[in-house]
Amino acid sequence: MITTVLMIEKPLVSADVELVTTLHGDEQVSFVVLMQPRGDQDRLLRALDDVALGELEEAVREGDEPSGGAAERALDVSLKQLREAGTEAVGQLIEEHPLQVLTSVAEETSADEVIVLTAPHLVEEFFHRDWASRARHKVGVPVLKLFAHTE
């Protein structure tokens, strides 16, 4: 069985579930989902990303990110979808220090890989400050960055 730590910032949509559950063909996969909603500290970076991508309407709706109870529900929905796709899935919300939590979870679970599934973050990616770039130097297992879908 392949153990994958899946780091997300929004609830998974069906296309995301299909993508991550079919990466390894017929091999069984177990997911440990870590959800850290993007907080207020990232609002300016997200707005810059939206403008750079030509998504001006998104730039003005940056307050719509899940937080608190909405983040807990988003995690629950994501776990349910992964389980319905036939995989094992557990998860937790991350309040602070996402890379420290990611590193410790990867070690504790003897993870085979980490998948970071996020929206494009052009500014952070340019400066290699995005989760995937930073995780590659910390976790000791392969880190795959995928872009999340929207419905």
Dihedral angle sign, alpha carbons of residues 133, 139, 142, 148: negative
**Nearest CA among 20, 1, 27, 4 for reference residue 147:** 20
User: What end-to-end distance do the CA atoms of the chain give, in Å?
Assistant: 30
Whole-structure pTM over 0.85, yes or no?
A: no
Helix (H) or strand (E) holding 4: strand 2-8
Distance of CA 39 to the CA centre of its chain: 14
Amino acid at 90: V
Residues in the chain predicted with pLDDT less than 50, given as ranges, are: 40-41, 44, 59-60, 62-66, 127-128
pLDDT attached to residue 131: 66
pLDDT at 133: 72
CA distance 20 to 38: 21
Among 134, 39, 132, which residue's Cα sits nearest to residue 93?
A: 39
Q: What is the pLDDT of residue 9?
A: 87
Q: Determine the pLDDT at residue 146.
A: 84
What per-residue confidence (pLDDT) applies to 42? 56
In sequence order, which residues have a C-beta less than 8 Å from that of residue 50 and are 6 or more positions away?
A: 56, 58, 59, 62
Residue where the block lists tokens 């609830």:
11
Residue 64, judged by CB atoms within 10 A of its CB (0-12, 13-18, 19+), counts as exposed
pLDDT of residue 140: 85
Judge whether 103 and 131 are in contact, CB under 8 Å: no
Q: What is the pLDDT of residue 59?
A: 46
Burial class (CB in 10 A: 0-12, 13-18, 19+), 132: buried
